[in-house]
Amino acid sequence: MADNARAKKLADLIREVVAQKLQRGIKDPRLGTHVTITDTRVTGDLREATVFYTVYGDDEDRASAAAGLESAKGILRSAVGAAAGTKFTPTLTFVADALPENAKTIEDLLDKARASDAKVREVSSGAQYAGEADPYRKPGDDEDDEGAAAE
């Protein structure tokens, strides 16, 4: 079992090598400049690596990029093996990162909250206080109340 520092170092190396190879070394048109490697995780025994990626484009672009990554898996693993210099090169698994979908969900929720705040602001713009504008007692007000109660 490898220590966490070694697994982290190998994961960083895999991320860099795969990103550079996708940018410069692979001529597959499905893997153009719109594929971004976001994260890499390696198991504790350094046998398997999961590479997370995002694709700029629509669902068709995502599907073609996934097929392109699967076809280039051997070339990418060879490049990682040459750069890592380890006894066993980890097998690579490519997983589409859910980051863009999560970001879109958060943006939609924030837009809904902004609309709700605007509606509350609009409703409250002409509202009057139920009592006085300042409901708190002041030090001078206590004396007036005591004098009125004594009469």
pLDDT tens track for 116-135: 999 988 888 877 777 777 77
Q: How far is CA 108 from CA 44, 97, 102, in A?
A: 37, 19, 10
Question: What are residue 52's DSSP bridge partners?
Answer: 39, 95
Contact 37, 81 (CB under 8 A): no
- Tell me if 77 is assigned to some domain: yes
- Tell me if 126 is assigned to some domain: no
Q: Chain centroid to CA 5: how far?
A: 23
- Domain extent for 81: 4-98
Establish how many alpha carbons lie within 13 A of residue 34's alpha carbon, considering only the half-sphere containing its beta carbon.
Answer: 16
pLDDT in tens, 9-53: 999 999 999 988 888 878 877 776 678 888 999 998 889 999 999
- Tell me if 28 is assigned to some domain: yes
Q: Is 137 helix (H, G, I), strand (E, B) or coil?
A: coil
Q: Number of folded domains in the chain?
A: 1
H-helix segments, the chain: 4-20, 59-71, 73-84, 99-124, 139-150
Question: What are residue 129's DSSP bridge partners?
Answer: none
- Tell me if 122 is assigned to some domain: no
CB count in 10 Å sphere of residue 46: 19
25-29, 30-34, 55-59, 143-147: the lowest-pLDDT one: 143-147
Going by C-beta distance under 8 Å and a sequence separation of 6 or more, which residues neighbour residue 13?
Answer: 80, 83, 84
- Tell me if 45 is assigned to some domain: yes
- Tell me if 51 is assigned to some domain: yes
- Tell me if 110 is assigned to some domain: no
pLDDT mean over 126-149:
69
Per-residue confidence (pLDDT) for residue 125, from 0 to 100? 83
Contact 22, 31 (CB under 8 A): yes
- Tell me if 55 is assigned to some domain: yes
**Pairing relation of β-strands 48-55 and 91-96?**
parallel
Looking up residue 21, the CATH number of its domain turns out to be 3.30.300.20
pLDDT in tens, 92-111: 999 988 877 788 899 999 99
Distance CA 126, CA 124 (A): 6
